[in-house]
Structure 1
């Protein structure tokens, strides 16, 4: 993958923003079925990851307004009652 400053990593159980391709690959340990998109700006990567999080997990109570670099955010599991 081309060299970017940041990567938005999307998984089936959460999202993350990393500052290197190696860190994006390391997120496979925590996030399942990952895909990554490169960005030159942190805020673009963060916006992309947060939008994907909202789309993939609409019922999540995790009201994260910002992400930290190299820190994954996970969605809670919900059971229908």
Structure 2
């Protein structure tokens, strides 16, 4: 995955563009949505957008393991932020 390689090289802006492009090409691909969510959560520190992407991934693939695990972690945090 090019975006993950860029992320690992510390090229955050380029990775962001690649992830955005990948989601635009296939907005229902649970693996892409989850990986982009993880990128946003850990590298951009945007837990709200990350949680949204995990949610969307689960809408398309309800048993996606990583998305489920991530959503269980981020969901309560985002709910607390929204209060």
Is TM-score (shorter-chain normalized) higher than 0.5? no
Task: Using CA pairs under 8 Å that are at least 6 residues apart, name the structure with larger relative contact order, 1 or 2.
Answer: 1
TM-score after normalising by structure 2: 0.31
Q: Which has the higher strand share?
A: 1
Q: Which has the higher helix share?
A: 2
TM-score after normalising by structure 1: 0.32
